[in-house]
């Protein structure tokens, strides 16, 4: 007799994303005016939740043309399977 299958959803693999923002010296380049004044919005387990946070932060600062927010794919810098970091 076989066991009945449980329809438990498989947990989503965590892929770390960071959302940061700050004022740029020149909006065509990636150089911030003041690194100490940067806004660390947070760390998120997937792109979807990071995107939602990025969008909310960007909307809050829409009147400041120099302010930009970014999603950093931290999981690409860390190998989640082995814990190996890929430092330069």
pTM of the predicted structure, to 2 decimals: 0.74
Q: Which fold has domain 14-30+46-88?
A: Alpha-Beta Plaits (3.30.70)
Q: Hey, where are the domains in the chain? A: 14-30+46-88
Contact in structure between 41 and 20 (CB atoms under 8 Å): yes
CA 36 distance to own-chain centroid = 19
Maximum average pLDDT range among 10-24, 35-49, 71-85: 35-49
pLDDT, tens digit, for every residue of 9-27? 767 788 899 999 999 998 8
In the beta sheet, which residues pair with residue 23? 67
């Amino acid at each position: 007799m076989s066991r009945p299958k449980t329809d438990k959803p498989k947990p989503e693999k965590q892929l770390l994303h960071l959302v940061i923002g700050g004022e740029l010296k020149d909006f065509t380049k990636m150089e911030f005016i003041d690194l100490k004044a940067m806004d660390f919005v947070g760390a998120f387990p997937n792109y979807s939740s990071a995107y939602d946070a990025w969008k909310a932060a960007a909307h809050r600062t829409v009147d400041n043309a120099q302010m930009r927010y970014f999603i950093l794919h931290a999981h690409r810098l860390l190998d989640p399977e082995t814990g190996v970091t890929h430092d330069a």
